[in-house]
A and B are shown apart, each in its own frame.
Chain A
Amino acid sequence: MSLTQNFHVFAGVAESGINTFLKDLFTTRPHYLNYGSPAFVPANTVNATSVAAITFPGVPTGIQFAVSFGIPTVDLFPPDAGTLSPIPPGPNQLGLHTKVRLTVGCFTWNSDPGNDKRGQMVPIFVDLDVWALGQIVSHYFGPGTGFITFQLINVRIPGIKPEGLEAVIDCVIRMMLNALLENVQLPFHVLSAGVFQLILEQGPTIDQDQVEVWGDI
């Protein structure tokens, strides 16, 4: 079967290419992966994004926290042999694997007005293995312009008990990951290696461990 099938051009990026792109993107812009409230990240830098602490009445500094993801890797359908994912990708889906470190600034303070000793913050953290299931979303604006990005539809962090807690953590991580993945925009001109300006007619689809598009020039 020809690559172009019933179309005139075909472009495909293999799983390895997607992972190379992710590595280059997140190495260049690590602030997409690293977030922290001012106690951890006082200001926005290329390495980390500063976010507000969680306000809670009575906690003097608010709840300080940090979230740091590892560079994710994708597994395009069909799933890799021997994958450990609890939610391996089905047809036209991708699996995503990463790690996340959740850090909380555990703050203790003295509420006695006569005691002027300052509070102390001790960071405590947990590292979690994150498995996700997602799909490709296309944003096509015209010949050669536009990009593809990822959208997660499910996240699993195995081993958290009770199940209700896992559901809460899964949901929080899914929201965070989806938000950061909005920054992952792989332009169509990269899919075609810059050789031609694709007029998108079909795709993107995920098959044979690659993202595939078809069209004309």
Chain B
Amino acid sequence: MSDIIAAADQTAATTLLHDAEATLGRLSKSGGGSLGPFVANYSASVSFSGGSVDLIPPNIIQLADCNVNYSLNFSFGIDLNDFLPSFCLPQICIFGWCTPKICISWPTVTIPISFSDTLTITGDFTVSAAQVGPNWIVSITIQSVPLLQFGAGTAALLAVIAAAVTAAVVWIPFIGPFLAGLADLVIAAIGIAGLTGLLGDIITPFISGLTFTLPPLPAKMLVLPAGGPTDPEVDVTITALGAAVQASDKNELVLSASIA
């Protein structure tokens, strides 16, 4: 029999998980990826919120409809020559004097994009406890990467890219008649597949191995603080800690501790 037992039902476990989401905070990373035919460099940050817990014995915590709130800052370069027709000023001769033939070479423009959206995931997590240094850590770790559904947010991102393309090239002379078509061409080149591919590459690492932790439990747990020269601090030592989902008339997350 364990010395200490703490149990939480699904409602309380949901509260604990939301606390763990807040504790996890915002995760960040940067890198590069393929955006259709373009190469995009990005920095991304992700936080998690919401969701409900379903405790499934013997050891599964299913988290449903957890919000993955992500923010992206990325940029990609477009060589306009790939999209716009070549443009040459013809040679003009007047009284024996001729202008040279001038051909416009379109520049490569860099398109900066900032975008934030939320997607929801549902996944199975397992719970475990281990001593890490001076603390016991209860970890709730995802078992597999769920399907990431990029829905309405993806279409919105395409619109953001179209607007960014237009803004990036509006200063270029002679291009006015081509602006609308240029944006459409770039969007078509990227395509939904290219976009979801990049988003998947960015977001998946945040989900893979996703681990929420409950507040660390010091192995040397303070029971009574020091109260003066004759009253030293009183501690007990957690020598073992277990975590499991147990079934009865309602399923519970149960932590069992042995102390010395």
Task: List the interface of chain A (C-beta within 8 A of B).
Answer: 1-4, 7-14, 16-17, 20-21, 24-25, 28-29, 31, 44-46, 49, 185-187, 190-196, 209-210, 216-217
In the complex, A193 Cα to B257 Cα: how many Å?
A: 7
In the bound complex, CA of A8 to CA of B14 (Å):
11
Establish whether residues B4 and A13, one from each chain, have CB atoms under 8 Å apart when the complex forms: yes
Bound form: Cα–Cα A193–B5 in Å: 8
A196, B16: Cβ atoms closer than 8 Å? yes
- The answer to whether B252 touches A4 (Cβ under 8 A) is yes
- Residue pair A20, B3 in contact (C-beta under 8 Å): yes
Cβ-defined contact, A4 with B6, below 8 A: no
Other-chain residue from B3, B6, B12, B254 in contact with A14 (beta carbon distance below 8 A): B3
Please indicate the chain B residues that have their CB under 8 angstroms from the CB of A16 in the complex: 1, 3
Chain A residues near B152 (CB-CB < 8 A) = none
Which single member of A13, A190, A196 contacts B12 (CB below 8 Å)? A196
Closest chain B CB from A4 CB (angstroms): 5
CB of A195 within 8 A of CB of B9, answer no
Bound CA–CA A210/B250 (angstroms): 21
B214 at the interface (CB under 8 A from A): yes
When the two chains form their complex, are residues A13 and B214 in contact, meaning their CB atoms are under 8 A apart? Answer: no
Asked if B133 is at the interface of the complex by the 8 Å CB criterion, the answer is: no
- With A4-B7, A194-B215 as contacts: A21 and B236 at CB distance below 8 Å: yes
Q: Are the C-beta atoms of B259 and A20 separated by less than 8 Å? A: yes
Does B103 touch A at the CB level, under 8 Å? no
Interchain CA distance A144-B5 in the complex, whole Å: 16
Chain B residues lying within 8 Å of A13, measured Cβ to Cβ, are 3-4
The 3 closest A-B CB pairs, nearest first, are A17-B3, A3-B7, A8-B12
With A4-B250, A216-B12 already in contact, the answer to whether A11 and B5 are too (CB < 8 A) is: yes
Are A9 and B138 in contact (CB-based, < 8 A)?
A: no
Chain A min CB distance to B5 (Å): 5
- On whether the beta carbons of A28 and B250 are closer than 8 Å, the reply is no
Offer 9 A-B interface pairs, CB within 8 angstroms, sorted by A: A11-B4, A24-B223, A29-B232, A31-B230, A46-B230, A46-B231, A193-B221, A195-B6, A196-B12
